[in-house]
Chains A and B, each alone.
Chain A
Amino acid sequence: MGLGLLASKALKPTASRLLSSQNPRSLLFLSRTVTSTPELQKPEQAAQAQPEPTPDLPPRTPLAGARVHFPNPDDAIEVFVDGYPVKIPKGMTVLQACEVAGVDIPRFCYHSRLSIAGNCRMCLVEVEKSPKPVASCAMPALPGMKIKTDTPIAKKAREGVMEFLLMNHPLDCPICDQGGECDLQDQSMAFGSDRGRFTEMKRSVVDKNLGPLVKTVMTRCIQCTRCVRFATEVAGVQDLGMLGRGSGEEIGTYVEKLMTSELSGNVIDICPVGALTSKPFAFKARNWELKGTETIDVTDAVGSNIRIDSRGPEVMRIIPRLNEDINEEWISDKTRFCYDGLKRQRLNDPMIRGADGRFKPVSWRDALAVVAEIAHQVKPEEIVGVAGQLSDAESMMALKDFLNKLGSNNVWCEKNGMFHDADLRSGYLMNTSISDLEKADVFLLVGTQPRVEAAMVNARIRKTVRATHAKVGYIGPPADFNYDHEHLGTGPQTLKEIAEGRHSFSSALSNAKNPVIIVGAGLFNRKDKDAIFSAVEAIAKSAKAVRPDWNGLNVLLLSAGQAAALDLGLVPESENCLESAKFVYLMGADDVNLENIPKDAFVVYQGHHGDQGVYRANVVLPAAAFSEKEGTYENTEGCTQQTVPAVPTVGDARDDWKIIRALSEVAGVRLPYDTLTAIRSRIKTVAPNLLHVDEREPATFSTSLKPQSNQELSSEPFGTAIENFYMTDSITRASKIMAQCSALLLKK
């Protein structure tokens, strides 16, 4: 419900006519003016007084990106919304028809991504020849229907509903965290009365404990059941329900139970009132004091679109942004609540480890001088660089260029391990694309647990399974799934059986129209990865998963930096260069095998958190986190996106690429770029797709061009790539909320 719309409703008709004779958009509201009370009492007279809508007005623009998609052109029907004809496909509801016509219908229980409940009754509209107002969200639009959204009857009906809703709603907006972004608050401005006729006691409901993320104030609940439907349909955890009846009705779990979903934070967004709010954000800020920065998330390889809300130098909260192709409008709990990790254990100053083993803060000048000196003392092949999983493309480019100038080519991104095949993009991307997973009918998950590795991809698979009953086969250790699946086996042996057509699932694959095979990036670290990939390719071939119109062979990456690192060619030259290294440059890398680094090696850690890498480091260079810098990231499906700085850097930290650029100059191998634009034009020569922001660049060549490997499959079963969903990188490991989550929600 746009506040602007409400405000313009309050305009006097004559005034708006004067103001907006040029503006057709505001002219719309002319015919939707609020009827005053005397007219309400005499509806017949008011109806006569209403001017007939002029048919030659320009067409209205659909609301909030409402899309009209005609699956079958013959199914188009025409309805009239306030006299304006609109063409919509058959099966749309009255509310959707109104949205296409550019009329916003107030609603609480209706949510476009959830099933229809029709229990709040706020969306009542008048339909000609219908004896009563109809709930537009649950009423299918019929050909020739004449829908009236601005008549006295519709308004009075909504006012009545609003009065009932406010009857048992506490008047605690001043202490409610939803205040300012509350649907009930907004809509009561338009349809609420300034006094109530309810003289009895308001009911009160005991608050529920849903875990460390969601705070409940159940007295505020208006029983729209959006959270119940979200939990059941999208999150796939049937924990929440509507208990009791009548005035005793309440949302709850009945038995004491925490909401153990990786998407539970989204109920905060969909709750139209302040019943479900963010526990870590409680009483921290008001939404109008926050500065929103539209950026992307880096805690997994999905690259969910987020908005960082900050106040001054502090990130206050993270909320999702709509992107139909990637995260729809949900984000995982890790994305949403990792932000308190950005304030803890940060590295402020450059530091050098003294002889006593303690770090001593030094100036940038001294730190860089020390690093540059050591870098020149070692042999070029003993220099190793590891980019962290959160690294942006610019800094990885700079790191690779820097090490190349020093004469070394041992540089890689930590989660990729010794993965060499960076030549073919299709070999490490999700070729199907996240949104096209919905078209698949059979899934084969090889060594990947999408629920913990990429919660948004898992939500897509679940959506597909729910909608089309797609079959899911899974090979790997026993794992948690929130949809029906078939556990085929635990290791490469099963893969071999399917590849040779001996397994029962191979017939399902070959009968599938759009089969999808997803290989987990956790397999990159296995010795027999080439054999696994050729087995998977054999399966894809027999199932015809790779066709000109369909590419069903996917790799699901684990972290935000991986795809860009492979695009930029960050692959190590020799297998065990880390063991023989004398100078190790860790650019935010905490998950490499630190114990493999020789004792006498000099380790530089450049990063934003005092995490595992710092324990081994000799020099620490503080860098900016993803919320503080502009950086390019490529997600697992090959879509390039950029982060935008939301808050200033902490302490004396610098952007990653700037540190490497400065170090290169101190070391006497000056890199030729001084600005972000310059470094991007350097990237253009290596991976031009990284400059096409917000575009998915599909891989051009399929993996069939790859030479066959004659490696033997080992019998060792697949492992789990991510042990703890809530703590995967330095930011989430520093987060207190994530620690609480893993303590409470992972306990089984």
Chain B
Amino acid sequence: MSFSLRSVKVPPNSASLEEARSRVFDFFREACRSIPSVIDMYNLDDVVTVSRLRSTIASEIRKNSHITDPKVIDMLLFKGTEELNNVLEHAKQRHHLIGQYVVGRQGLIQDIGTKDQGISNFLKNFYTSNYF
């Protein structure tokens, strides 16, 4: 933890939404640039391509596209930088990356969508866990 925190510098707060926005783009670019080395590091060539990973990063960022508060964006940016650092420092293992960015969080839960049409919430919950 301390190891990765050392390399993460806390930037000064963004003054405006515009500044925060540009920082996000900077971060996205930085992340994209590091993709080849990540693939190299974690031996991901056989499971994923650079473009797939790039679009994963883009979609992860777009998930928060509705946020307008620069402070929150700064916070999310910090978290993203931290995550990127962890990845680059090999603090993660191959299966972490595959689970989180290649297969995707939703991908682990199989056959989503089609079959659950028209069933009650009870049954949906029932299929996932005993505790609801």
What residue in chain B is nearest A673 (Cβ atoms)?
B122
| A280 to B: closest C-beta gap in Å | 28
Residues on A with beta carbons closer than 8 Å to the beta carbon of B120 = 665, 670, 674
| A395 to B: closest C-beta gap in Å | 14
* Separation of A364 and B119 alpha carbons in the complex (Å): 14
* Separation of A364 and B129 alpha carbons in the complex (Å): 10
Cβ of B3 under 8 Å from chain A: no
| Residue among B120, B121, B123, B127 facing the most chain A CB atoms (10 A cut-off) | B123
Residues of A bordering B, CB below 8 Å: 363-365, 624, 648-649, 653-655, 658, 661-662, 665-666, 670, 674
* Separation of A627 and B131 alpha carbons in the complex (Å): 15
| A113 to B: closest C-beta gap in Å | 40
Kindly identify which residue among B119, B121, B130 contacts A654, using a CB–CB cutoff of 8 Å: B130
* Separation of A649 and B119 alpha carbons in the complex (Å): 24
Cβ of B115 under 8 Å from chain A: yes
B130→A624 contact, CB < 8 A: yes
A655→B130 contact, CB < 8 A: yes
Question: How many positions in chain B have a CB within 8 Å of any CB in the partner chain?
Answer: 10
A662→B122 contact, CB < 8 A: yes
What residue in chain A is nearest B115 (Cβ atoms)?
A365
Kindly identify which residue among B115, B121, B126 contacts A364, using a CB–CB cutoff of 8 Å: B126
A662→B130 contact, CB < 8 A: no
| Residue among A624, A653, A662 facing the most chain B CB atoms (10 A cut-off) | A662
| B9 to A: closest C-beta gap in Å | 41
What residue in chain B is nearest A659 (Cβ atoms)?
B126
Residues of B bordering A, CB below 8 Å: 115, 119-123, 126-127, 130-131
What residue in chain A is nearest B126 (Cβ atoms)?
A662
Known: A365-B127, A674-B121. 12 other contacts (CB 8 A): A363-B127, A365-B115, A624-B130, A648-B131, A649-B130, A658-B130, A661-B122, A662-B123, A665-B122, A665-B123, A670-B120, A674-B120
Residues on B with beta carbons closer than 8 Å to the beta carbon of A658 = 126, 130
B130→A665 contact, CB < 8 A: no
| Residue among B115, B120, B122 facing the most chain A CB atoms (10 A cut-off) | B122
B123→A653 contact, CB < 8 A: no
| B8 to A: closest C-beta gap in Å | 36
Residues on A with beta carbons closer than 8 Å to the beta carbon of B119 = 665
| Residue among A364, A365, A649 facing the most chain B CB atoms (10 A cut-off) | A365
Residues on A with beta carbons closer than 8 Å to the beta carbon of B131 = 648
* Separation of A662 and B131 alpha carbons in the complex (Å): 14
Residues on B with beta carbons closer than 8 Å to the beta carbon of A665 = 119-120, 122-123
What residue in chain B is nearest A666 (Cβ atoms)?
B123
Residues on B with beta carbons closer than 8 Å to the beta carbon of A653 = 130
What residue in chain A is nearest B111 (Cβ atoms)?
A365
Residues on B with beta carbons closer than 8 Å to the beta carbon of A649 = 130
A674→B122 contact, CB < 8 A: yes
B122→A364 contact, CB < 8 A: no
What residue in chain A is nearest B116 (Cβ atoms)?
A365
* Separation of A56 and B21 alpha carbons in the complex (Å): 76
Residues on A with beta carbons closer than 8 Å to the beta carbon of B115 = 365
* Separation of A364 and B127 alpha carbons in the complex (Å): 6
| Residue among B119, B122, B130 facing the most chain A CB atoms (10 A cut-off) | B130
Residues on B with beta carbons closer than 8 Å to the beta carbon of A655 = 130
Residues on A with beta carbons closer than 8 Å to the beta carbon of B127 = 363-365, 662
* Separation of A658 and B122 alpha carbons in the complex (Å): 9
Q: Across chains A and B, which 4 residue pairs bring their CB atoms closest together, nearest first?
A: A662-B126, A674-B122, A654-B130, A649-B130
* Separation of A665 and B124 alpha carbons in the complex (Å): 11
Residues on B with beta carbons closer than 8 Å to the beta carbon of A365 = 115, 127
| Residue among A624, A649, A670, A674 facing the most chain B CB atoms (10 A cut-off) | A674
What residue in chain B is nearest A658 (Cβ atoms)?
B126
* Separation of A649 and B123 alpha carbons in the complex (Å): 18
